[in-house]
Structure 1
């Protein structure tokens, strides 16, 4: 099943990074909660990096080599 029913507000940069790292299927099956996402090492690394940025910071997310 694709298309989740539960949504959470995210900064745009965080939303873009999540979709750069994971496919829709991975998000639906494995990373379908904030807790599950935060367990992934790539997400943890991104969160550490983005915490030091101002709230209005934007950057273009690059697709992970894992997804190419």
Structure 2
């Protein structure tokens, strides 16, 4: 899926402790960055999996695994 770059929020507020968590790898940080940049004021994000695939460049199966590991 192709994502229009002009529709992507320019930034997201990610808590600094996310970057200090040694359990998280680059894939986790990429996914969290996209989720935080699309979250509302209550930190709720409702992106379709296909949108996440397009924004992160991570294939669907690996993205599902990454999301499960972040729960």
TM range (shorter): under 0.3
TM-score with structure 1 setting the length: 0.27
Larger relative CO (CA 8 A, sep 6+): 1 or 2? 1
TM-score with structure 2 setting the length: 0.26
